[in-house]
Amino acid sequence: MNHYYRKSVTELSALLQAGEVSSVELTEHFLERIKAHDEKLNSFITVCEEDALAQAEAADKKLKTGDAPALTGVPIAHKDIFCTRGIRTSCASKMLDNFISPYDATVVSKMKTAGLVMLGKTNMDEFAMGSSNETSYYGSVKNPWNLNTVPGGSSGGSAASVAARITPAATGTDTGGSIRQPAALCGITGLKPTYGRCSRFGMIAFASSLDQAGPMAKTASDCALLLNAMAGFDAKDSTSIEQDVPDYTADLAKPLQGLRIGLPGEYFARDEQGKGMHEDVEAVVKAALQQYKSMGAELIDISLPNSDLSVPAYYVVAPAECSANLSRLDGVRYGYRCDKPKDLNDLYTRSRGEAFGAEVQRRIMIGTYALSSGYYDAYYLKAQQIRQLISDDFRQAFNHVDVIMAPVTPETAFTIGEKSADPISMYLSDIYTIAVNLAGLPALSLPAGFASSSKMPVGLQIIGNHFSEAKLLNVAHQYQQQTDWHTQCPQEFE
């Protein structure tokens, strides 16, 4: 029996290039695993079997020429927030359940050009709003390490499918931690690039000044290969940065001697009630830091004094932008429309009321309020000023350190339904990730071990200065050369 599912993207690429396996064979292998396992996980919304096999056949023809790009023939899944031509793009919402995109998102088209084969579209929190992947119209995604727990959100379907080895890699999006948080809770590697590094064209917008696409896979070297394909300027996206894309695999082997790692005291502190990072998570993170120290890195205490303001600032900025972005979904042009509207106002109110879930409605209402006359200066403008202070904190820190390391989440994956009735508790799941988005920085989560009590994965967060993705990937790769946490697979999916 072939065990291709155990191999990384890097290893599968080498097998394909050497002609030791065909893309059709690989694609069939992963489609079979999806059929066998995804009923338990609910990680896919749409599986594109026919299209995937056609793409795999085309990839095999390209591979035979001997001049195929490195990722040609490797299967991948896309988060269902990316538009895919001729295939449903739902954003996990009833509102877009019937939407067939007429075009590909730039990230999708770049992946096609690189020769990757799309297996399907993964489940997510509705319109990427959530920290647990419980707000999807298509039901909750399950964490493959414990099917009673959440995989994290909003890219939970992508994270769960990679962790369960039913796809070698997947795309995700990160608005406030939505790549890093599910990557940490599911024990995989996930990279949120610098804002503007990957095109947002065709990526259905949640919060336009925060959203960023990124790769999710087993290893840092996999993410480096995938970012090579994803990154780059796009004239169709006004937020895209016109800057050359380096080869992110070039510096992976660089030793870490002399690396200066910043440890923000605010991320490791406990509040007056003794709340903060769970002791099990702290133990794993500190063990990872000692591993880095043994590899020649220097640990330096730093301060990010405004980090405690990141959650309140984010939950003004993000809902305000989502309120504006989702106003286009009104039952008129495309998407869900209510039955027999009495007039235009009835069409708007019933279409939106019936098709948007509770969390989306909550954020739209908060955002509309924050942008309304008389409140704009008090809320939205003030949040943007705090955002600048947070960005300045990071800028000053990077004058003294090369990277910053911290936990990704305060705790490991929690039980499905545990926080559904408490939105504030859910929002605090992103307390260690949100500041990165507000500052537009790149950050990565990599598997660092398992909590002693829950036996669930714990992620280590590595934060870099703008456009330092190559450095983050090098730092993560060197750790993965010394540890085997990234090779662990949930027993049920072995």
The identity of residue 275, as a single letter, is K
Give Cα 41 distance to the centre of its chain. Answer: 18
Contact indicator for 197, 231 with CB cutoff of 8 Å: yes
Catalytic residue among 8, 90, 93, 178: 178
Identify whether residues 316 and 240 lie together within a single domain.
no
Structure tokens at 345: 């106002």
The per-residue pLDDT for range 273-283, each reduced to its tens digit, is 556 799 999 99
- 457-463 sheet: strands from edge to edge: 44-47, 117-122, 75-79, 169-173, 213-217, 189-192, 443-450, 457-463, 403-407, 260-264, 298-302
The per-residue pLDDT for range 217-263, each reduced to its tens digit, is 999 999 999 999 999 999 999 999 999 999 999 999 999 999 999 99
- Boundary residue ending a domain (367, 383, 399): 383
- Residue for token pair 């939205």: 380
Confirm whether 79 is a catalytic residue: yes
User: Is 266 within the bounds of a domain?
Assistant: no
**Domain of 376, in residue numbers:** 309-383
User: Is 144 within the bounds of a domain?
Assistant: yes
Identify whether residues 78 and 138 lie together within a single domain.
yes
Determine the Cα angle at 163 with ends 157 and 169, to 5°.
Answer: 75
**Count of Cβ atoms closer than 10 Å to residue 344 Cβ:** 11
User: Is 419 within the bounds of a domain?
Assistant: no
Phi and psi at residue 227, to the nearest 5°: -65, -35
pLDDT value of position 273:
58
Confirm whether 307 is a catalytic residue: no
Identify whether residues 327 and 238 lie together within a single domain.
no
User: Is 17 within the bounds of a domain?
Assistant: yes
Catalytic residue among 13, 43, 79, 140: 79
Spatial separation of the C-alpha atoms in residues 360 and 341, rounded to whole Å: 22
Residue in 177, 185, 138, 162 with CA at minimum distance from that of residue 415? 185
457, β-bridge pairs: 450
Catalytic residue among 101, 131, 154, 307: 154
Number of compact structural domains in the chain: 2
Phi and psi at residue 40, to the nearest 5°: -80, -30
Identify whether residues 241 and 319 lie together within a single domain.
no
Identify whether residues 248 and 321 lie together within a single domain.
no
Residue in 329, 265, 337, 312 with CA at minimum distance from that of residue 438? 312
User: Is 201 within the bounds of a domain?
Assistant: yes
Phi and psi at residue 454, to the nearest 5°: -85, -15
**Pseudo-torsion of CA 217, 218, 219, 225, nearest 10°?**
-40
User: Is 214 within the bounds of a domain?
Assistant: yes
Spatial separation of the C-alpha atoms in residues 334 and 87, rounded to whole Å: 15
458, β-bridge pairs: 449
Identify whether residues 29 and 135 lie together within a single domain.
yes
Identify whether residues 244 and 324 lie together within a single domain.
no
Identify whether residues 135 and 67 lie together within a single domain.
yes
Name every residue whose Cβ is closer than 8 Å to that of residue 22 and which is 6 or more positions away in sequence.
16, 56, 60, 63, 73
Contact indicator for 191, 162 with CB cutoff of 8 Å: no
75, β-bridge pairs: 117
Confirm whether 155 is a catalytic residue: no
Identify whether residues 236 and 324 lie together within a single domain.
no
Structure tokens at 352: 């939106």
pLDDT value of position 1:
56
Query: In three state form, how does the secondary structure of the chain look?
Result: CCCHHHCCHHHHHHHHHHCCCCHHHHHHHHHHHHHHHHHHHCCEEEECHHHHHHHHHHHHHHHHCCCCCCCCCCEEEEECCECECCEECCCCCHHHCCCECCCCCHHHHHHHHCCCEEEEEECCCHHHCCCCCCCCCCCCCCECCECCECCCCCCHHHHHHHHCCCCCEEEEECCCCCCHHHHHHHCCEEEECCCCCECCCCECCCCCCCCCEEEEECCHHHHHHHHHHHECCCCCCCCCCCCCCCCCCCCCCCCCCCCEEEEEHHHHCCCCCCCCCCHHHHHHHHHHHHHHHHCCCEEEEECCCCHHHHHHHHHHHHHHHHHHHHHHCCCCCCCCCCCCCCCHHHHHHHHHHHHCCHHHHHHHHHHHHHHCCCCCHHHHHHHHHHHHHHHHHHHHHCCCCCEEEEECCCCCCCECCCCCCCHHHHHHHHCCCHHHHHHCCCEEEEEEEECCCCCCEEEEEEECCCCCHHHHHHHHHHHHHHCCHHHCCCHHHC
Spatial separation of the C-alpha atoms in residues 92 and 139, rounded to whole Å: 9
Structure tokens at 430: 């992103």
- Boundary residue ending a domain (331, 361, 383): 383
The per-residue pLDDT for range 136-175, each reduced to its tens digit, is 999 999 999 999 999 999 999 999 999 999 999 999 999 9
Spatial separation of the C-alpha atoms in residues 444 and 177, rounded to whole Å: 10
CATH of the domain at 143: 3.90.1300.10
Spatial separation of the C-alpha atoms in residues 483 and 480, rounded to whole Å: 5
Identify whether residues 97 and 220 lie together within a single domain.
yes
Identify whether residues 194 and 331 lie together within a single domain.
no
Burial (Cβ within 10 Å: 0-12, 13-18, ≥19) of residue 254: middle
- Boundary residue ending a domain (354, 383, 412): 383
Residue in 394, 397, 369 with CA at minimum distance from that of residue 383? 369
Identify whether residues 124 and 198 lie together within a single domain.
yes
Query: Which residues of the chain have a pLDDT value below 50?
Result: none
Structure tokens at 291: 């591993």
